[in-house]
Amino acid sequence: MADSADKRADNRIEVTIGDQTVERGPQGATHQTAKGETPTLTTQQGVPVADDQNTLKAGPRGASLMEDFHFREKIFHFDHERIPERVVHARGYAAHGFFELTDSLAEYTTASVLGKTGVQVPVFTRFSTVAGAKGSSDLARDVRGFAVKFYTEEGNWDLVGNNMPVFFIQDAMKFPDMVHAVKEEPDSGFPQAQSAHDNFWDFASLSPETVHMLMWVMSDRAIPRSFRFMEGFGVHSFRLINAEGKSTYVKFHWKPKSGLQSVVWNEALKINGADPDFHRRDLWDAIQSGDFPEWELGVQLFDDAFADSFDFDILDATKLIPEELVPVRRVGRMVLNRVVDNFFAETEQVAFCTQNVVPGIGFTNDPLLQGRNFSYLDTQTKRLGGPNFTHIPINAPKCPFHNFQQDGHMAMHNPKGRANYEPNSWGQGPRENPQRGYRHYEEALEGRKTRERGELFADHYSQARQFLMSQTSTERTHIKNAFVFELSKCQTPAIRSRVVAHLRNVDEDLAKAVAAGLRLEALPEAAPPARKPLTGLPPSDRLSILKNGPDSFAGRKIGVVVTDGTDAELLKALLEAAKAEGANVELIAPEVGGVKTTDGKLLAAGQKIVGAPSVLYDAVVLLPSADGAKRLAGEATARDFVADAYAHAKFIGYGRDAESMLAKGGITSADKDDGIISLSAAGDMKAFIQSCRALRFWARESKTHSV
C-alpha cells in the first residue's frame, strides 16, 4: 500500500490499495474509487471479502464455524464501537470554520492569533447541552457549551466557554456535587436532561452561590432558538501577556451576527418531541445552504486598578463585568463554513482542554478555572482511551509539533531514530526555545495554605437582581414562569420554599409571584445573606435577549401551509419576499409529494402537516384554497398548528381562504391582533416579512397564559 501525494486542498488524498485507488478524507476512506467505481469490500487486514451476507456454516442449516475470521472481526469491531460519553456536555454538535482577527491586540499579547490581522486561522467549534445524555433532546432547559478550538500557528488554543457568562459554583471542588445533583437521580435513573427535579433544586437551594446562575438558566437563554443565535462567553477572567511580560485581564465574548433569539418554554417542550435534533439540524442546514453562521470575538480588557475597584471579585465565576462598565471591543470574526465529514471522528473525538493555551494567553487564579485545567486532560484520557488522543486528526495541531513523548495505546507519532530524550549527543530531535516558548505569567504568590474564598465571593444576590432588572417585562414573566414550572416538578415542599427564600433577596415581586404560582401558604423568611447585597446596581441592556434581537428576519424560517388550489401568485410573492430578506421557507402540505397550485404546477412539499407542527418555524403562513381549508378542518394537527402559533406569539399570515383554519385553531375575530396579518394580495408579502423582524408579537402572550 502506498499513499500518493495530497491532491486536494481539503486534505483528501488518494490512496492506492492493490490495483484500486480510493479517495481518503482526513478521517478515513470515503469508499469511492478515484474512477468512481465501487471498491472491493475488505477486512481490516485488507483481505477481499467474497460474501458479506452469510456466516460460514457446516452446511446451509449447520452450526456456525469459528474459522469465520471475517464474521468475528466484523462483530468484534461492532461490539467495541461505543466510547464513554462525556460526563457533562455529552450531546453536542460541531462545525469547522475560521477565525479572522480584524483589530490587533498585539500591544497586549504576543499571541499571533490575537495579533496578526487578516489571517484565517482554522477553528472547530462544538456546541452542546450540559446535563443530558448523548441521545437526549436539543431543547432541554440547560446551559449550552460553546467550545472553540483554534488551530493557531503557535499551537492549539481551546476557548471552552458557555452561552452564559457566569457559572453555578465558585470552586471546582463543588463541580461533581453540582453535576450529580442536576443529572438523573441515581436510584430511579430519571429525569433525563432536566433540572426540574428535587435533587437539583435541593443542591441549588442549599448553595446560595448558584442564585445568579439560576436567574440565567430560568431565563430564555436556556432555550435558544438556534446555536446561531446565541452569545458565547469564556466566563473566567483570563490574562493576555505582552512581549514585556505585562499582563492585562481579559474576558472573552462571542456575539452572533444574526442577533439573539430564543424560543418559549411550551414551544421547547413540543420541539423536543417533533424534532429532538432541532439545533443540530438547524446548524447543518444553514451551513449546507451556504448561510454560514458568524460571530464576532469580543474582549473586555481591564487592569489591576479596575479589578481592585470593582464591586466583585474578578476571580469569581458567578459574577460578570457589565458591558456598560467595561465595553466589549470587537476584534475578530468566526465563520463556520464546513460541516464534519464524520460525526464520530470529529464531533465525538474532539477533546477540548482549558489548559490548551498559546504563548501570550494565560490563566488567573479563578478557582474554577484552576480546577478545570486538571479535569479536561484527565477526562479525555479516559474517554478517548489513553494519552495519544492528541494524535487523532481533529485534536492534532496544524502547526509543526515535536517532542519525545512516546508509546502508549494507539501511538501514531513515535519519534524516528535513536534519540528519544533531550539533551542528546546524536544531534537529533527538538530542543527547548526560550524565545518562542510558552512562559507562564510571573505572578508573585504568597499566602497561607487555606480552604477559604475571597471575601467578595460571598455576595450572591446583587448581580442576580441586576440581571433580573435588566430584562423586559416579557422576559421577567418567562423567568417567573420557569421557576414555577421547575419547582412544581419538585415533590418536596420544603425545597420549593427554600428557593423562594433566596428569591426574596433578589426581588420581592419575583418571590411573591413564584410563591403564588406554587400556591405556597406563606411567604418563607428571606434566606440570611452571607454578605449584604448591594443596592442600586444599574440595569444592563446587554443582558436581555429581546433588547439584542436581530434587525432582519434573515436566517429564520417560515412554515407555509399549502393545499391543492393554493394561489400560485401569492405563494410566488411570498417566496420572493422571503428570499430578498434571506429567510427560508418550508412548504407544508397534506401530502409530502406536494400540491397543485392555481397555475397547474405540482410543487413538492418539504413536510407533511402531521410531522411539521408550527413550533418548528419562526413565523407561519396559511395559504390553503377553500377546498384545501375544508379538508384540513378535519385534521387535528392543522388545528394545533394554528393554535400553537397563536399561543407562542408568532406572526401568522393568512390568505383569503384561511379564515376557517384560523377559526379551527381557536382564533376568533376578537382574537385577531396586529400579529395576525391578512395576505390577500401579492403586494402584502413584503410588509409581512418586515413585521416578522420583531420575531414575536409579545403583546399577545399575556392573553394566552392565565395560569
Per the annotation, where are the binding residues? 86, 126, 175, 372, 376, 383
Q: Which residues are annotated binding-site positions for heme?
A: 86, 126, 175, 372, 376, 383
Cell digits for 209? Answer: 452561590
166, 251 Cβ separation under 8 angstroms = no
Q: Which residue is nearest to ligand HDE (CB)?
A: 145
Q: Is 89 in the site for ligand HDE (CB under 6 A)?
A: yes
The minimum distance between CB 182 and ligand HDE, in angstroms, equals 12
Q: Name the residue nearer to ligand HDE (CB basis): 89 or 221.
A: 89
Which one of 33-41, 365-373, 433-441, 549-557 is the stretch in contact with ligand HDE (CB under 6 A)? 365-373
Q: Is 131 in the site for ligand HDE (CB under 6 A)?
A: no
Q: Is 247 in the site for ligand HDE (CB under 6 A)?
A: no
Q: Is 617 in the site for ligand HDE (CB under 6 A)?
A: no
Given 3-state DSSP classes, what are the helix, strand and coil percentages for the chain, each rounded to the nearest 5? 30, 20, 50
# residues near ligand HDE by CB under 6 A: 25
Q: Name the residue nearer to ligand HDE (CB basis): 175 or 698.
A: 175
Among 131, 287, 368, 468, binds ligand HDE (CB under 6 A): 368
Residue type, 561: V
Cis peptide before 423 (omega within 30 of 0): yes
Which one of 259-267, 367-375, 391-399, 549-557 is the stretch in contact with ligand HDE (CB under 6 A)? 367-375
Q: Name the residue nearer to ligand HDE (CB basis): 348 or 507.
A: 348
Q: Name the residue nearer to ligand HDE (CB basis): 99 or 553.
A: 99
Q: Name the residue nearer to ligand HDE (CB basis): 21 or 373.
A: 373
Q: Which of 225, 232, 328 is nearest to 278 (CA)?
A: 225
The length of the chain in residues reads 707
Our measurement of the distance from residue 690's CA atom to the centroid of its chain's CA atoms, rounded to an integer in Å, reads 28
What part of residues 457-476 is at the interface with ligand HDE (CB under 6 A)?
none
Q: Which residues of 505-649 form beta strands (DSSP E)? A: 557-562, 584-589, 595-596, 602-603, 607-608, 619-623
> Between the CA of residue 483 and those of 212, 215, 503, what are the distances in Å?
13, 9, 10
The minimum distance between CB 344 and ligand HDE, in angstroms, equals 13
Q: Name the residue nearer to ligand HDE (CB basis): 89 or 557.
A: 89
Binding mask 145-164 for ligand HDE (x = CB under 6 A): x-x------------xxx--
308, 302 Cβ separation under 8 angstroms = no
Q: Is 375 in the site for ligand HDE (CB under 6 A)?
A: yes
Q: Is 381 in the site for ligand HDE (CB under 6 A)?
A: no
Residue given cell 430578498 in the structure block: 580
The minimum distance between CB 155 and ligand HDE, in angstroms, equals 18
Q: Which pairing describes strands 144-152 and 155-162: parallel, antiparallel, or unpaired? A: antiparallel
> Between the CA of residue 652 and those of 266, 286, 373, 639, what are the distances in Å?
18, 23, 49, 14
What part of residues 636-675 is at the interface with ligand HDE (CB under 6 A)?
none
The minimum distance between CB 250 and ligand HDE, in angstroms, equals 14
Q: Is 384 in the site for ligand HDE (CB under 6 A)?
A: no
User: Which helix (H) or strand (E) segment is 254 a member of?
Assistant: strand 247-256
Q: Name the residue nearer to ligand HDE (CB basis): 160 or 515.
A: 160
What part of residues 306-335 is at the interface with ligand HDE (CB under 6 A)?
317
DSSP helix/strand/coil, 501: helix
Dihedral sign from CA coordinates of 387, 393, 397, 402: positive
Among 93, 124, 150, 167, binds ligand HDE (CB under 6 A): 167
Which one of 81-89, 400-408, 563-571, 600-608 is the stretch in contact with ligand HDE (CB under 6 A)? 81-89
> Between the CA of residue 643 and those of 514, 614, 636, 666, what are the distances in Å?
27, 9, 10, 6
CA distance 248 to 527: 37
Cell digits for 54? Answer: 452469510
Q: Is 128 in the site for ligand HDE (CB under 6 A)?
A: yes
Q: Is 623 in the site for ligand HDE (CB under 6 A)?
A: no
The minimum distance between CB 295 and ligand HDE, in angstroms, equals 15
Among 121, 123, 172, 264, binds ligand HDE (CB under 6 A): 172
Give CB contacts under 8 A, 24+ apart, made by 80-86: 83/348, 83/383, 83/384, 83/385, 84/382, 84/383, 85/133, 85/134, 85/383, 86/128, 86/134, 86/379, 86/383
* Beta pairing partners, 558: 585, 619
The minimum distance between CB 439 and ligand HDE, in angstroms, equals 24
Classify each residue of 19-53 as buried b or exposed e, where b means 16 or more C-beta atoms within 10 Å of its C-beta: eebbbbbebeeeeebeeeeebeeeeeeeeeeeeee
The minimum distance between CB 391 and ligand HDE, in angstroms, equals 17
Q: Is 295 in the site for ligand HDE (CB under 6 A)?
A: no
For this structure, is 162 an active site residue? yes
Q: Is 129 in the site for ligand HDE (CB under 6 A)?
A: no
For this structure, is 89 an active site residue? yes
Which one of 32-40, 87-95, 410-418, 499-507 is the stretch in contact with ligand HDE (CB under 6 A)? 87-95
Among 22, 88, 95, 515, binds ligand HDE (CB under 6 A): 88
The minimum distance between CB 185 and ligand HDE, in angstroms, equals 20
Among 98, 175, 306, 441, binds ligand HDE (CB under 6 A): 175
CA distance 445 to 443: 6
Dihedral sign from CA coordinates of 94, 95, 100, 102: negative
Cell digits for 47? Answer: 483481505
Q: Is 553 in the site for ligand HDE (CB under 6 A)?
A: no
Task: Give me the helices (H) in 310-419, please.
Answer: 367-383
Q: Is 499 in the site for ligand HDE (CB under 6 A)?
A: no
CA distance 72 to 65: 10
Q: Name the residue nearer to ligand HDE (CB basis): 133 or 633.
A: 133
- In the set 162, 199, 388, 584, the catalytic residue is 162
Q: Name the residue nearer to ligand HDE (CB basis): 131 or 692.
A: 131
Q: Name the residue nearer to ligand HDE (CB basis): 175 or 343.
A: 175
CA distance 34 to 663: 59
Residue given cell 455576595 in the structure block: 459
- In the set 89, 197, 253, 460, the catalytic residue is 89
Dihedral sign from CA coordinates of 69, 70, 76, 79: negative
Among 65, 87, 206, 399, binds ligand HDE (CB under 6 A): 87
The minimum distance between CB 432 and ligand HDE, in angstroms, equals 29
CA distance 214 to 145: 16
Q: Name the residue nearer to ligand HDE (CB basis): 354 or 597.
A: 354
The minimum distance between CB 460 and ligand HDE, in angstroms, equals 17
Determine the Cα angle at 10 with ends 5 and 14, to 5°.
35
CA distance 236 to 319: 9
Which one of 294-302, 373-381, 411-419, 455-463 is the stretch in contact with ligand HDE (CB under 6 A)? 373-381
Q: Name the residue nearer to ligand HDE (CB basis): 47 or 83.
A: 83
> Between the CA of residue 34 and those of 9, 21, 26, 39, what are the distances in Å?
16, 6, 16, 10
Which one of 46-54, 148-156, 376-384, 607-615 is the stretch in contact with ligand HDE (CB under 6 A)? 376-384
Active site residues: 89, 162
Residues of the shown chain interacting with ligand HDE in the complex, contacts defined by CB under 6 A? 86-89, 92, 126, 128, 145, 147, 160-162, 167, 172, 175, 235, 317, 352, 368, 371-372, 375-376, 379-380
